[in-house]
Amino acid sequence: HAVRTLGGLDGLINNAGTIDPIAPLTQSDAEMWRRAVEVNLTAPALLMKAVLPELIRSEGRIVNISTGAAIKPMPGWSAYCASKAGLLHLTA
């Protein structure tokens, strides 16, 4: 849509995130865990895939917002830490 209406795309900022579920893995809700991975990792990856051809053409940039929890796990934050670590590695 941006390419059609504005003539191009210069960047993408992936800034969405969800921290839930906050619980030990054995007690966390599986659907909430799946949703955290979807919001924190899958959605940014699919957005990046969609815009990369245009950003390569325009020499644009992608900015992925992450967290220190991507490299320093926090008790009870397994879905958040794992998905943000995945985003960190995807970015690299």
- Report the catalytic residues: 66, 80, 84
Number of H helices and number of E strands within the chain?
4, 2
- Contact by Cβ (8 Å): 64, 50: no
**For residues 62 and 1, what is the distance between their CA atoms, to the nearest angstrom?**
17
